[in-house]
Amino acid sequence: MALWDQLFLTLWFLAVVVLIFRVLTALRLFFQFRGQRLVTCPETRKPAAVSVAAGLAASRALFREWPLQLKQCSRWPEREDCGQYCLSQVEAAPQDCLVWTIVSRWYEGRKCAYCGKPFGKIHHLDRRPAFLNREGKTQQWDQVLPEQLPEIFANCRPVCYSCHIAQTFRREYADLVVDRPRWERGAGGEIICHPLEDEKLEDELSH
């Protein structure tokens, strides 16, 4: 009887270990494949934004089933019946094709087009930076379709959040914006202004 009890406990222990291993594998797959990604559509050879069914992948992992499946694509519903061959790109580099990874790498190390301040590492909780488009307007990166980002990053310049807010205010409330003159100070700390700006300077100092 003791032998059967020991065998039962051993089998029970092994079953628990296998279950824990599969649960951990499922959780790893869920966190690895969640989030929106950019891939090159095999049909059009153009960027497409896709999302993997991470929850389905995790549940399949519990039963040792691996195949990934798309949950969303920017080409759907028109091409929802495609073969989903782009999934090979996701499997090959799940982190590199994340939209967030592509965005953060583009900003990191660059300088703001207005203030010249270099960008550090971009974090999810940061105030979202922007870009300067061809029309001379600033726009935050998450306000455009993800599949448009590669072309935008190839033709636009980065703009920090503070400068984006300032330029947006200037554009929307131009009548409230006053451009201050470039003041210079003398040896005694006095303000030296160009002759054409003297009158404007006196008006500002009087207020």
What does the pLDDT look like over 17-74, one tens digit per residue?
A: 776 777 777 677 777 788 899 999 999 999 999 999 877 776 776 676 667 889 999 9
Cα separation, 157 vs 131, whole angstroms? 5
pTM for the model: 0.72
From residue 79, alpha-carbon distances to 24, 41, 73, 109, 158 in Å are 34, 11, 9, 38, 33
Cα separation, 33 vs 17, whole angstroms? 24
Q: What's the average model confidence in pLDDT over 124-143?
A: 89
For the chain, what are the domain ranges? 1-97
Q: What is the mean pLDDT of the chain?
A: 80
- State yes or no: pLDDT of 114 exceeds 70: yes
Which of these, 145, 151, 148, 113, lies nearest to 129 by C-alpha position? 113
Is the bond leading into 181 cis (omega within 30 degrees of zero)?
no
Element (H, E) at 191: strand 191-192
Higher per-residue pLDDT: 172 or 196: 172
- Predicted pLDDT at 123: 80
- State yes or no: pLDDT of 121 exceeds 80: yes
From residue 31, alpha-carbon distances to 19, 50, 56, 120 in Å are 19, 16, 12, 25
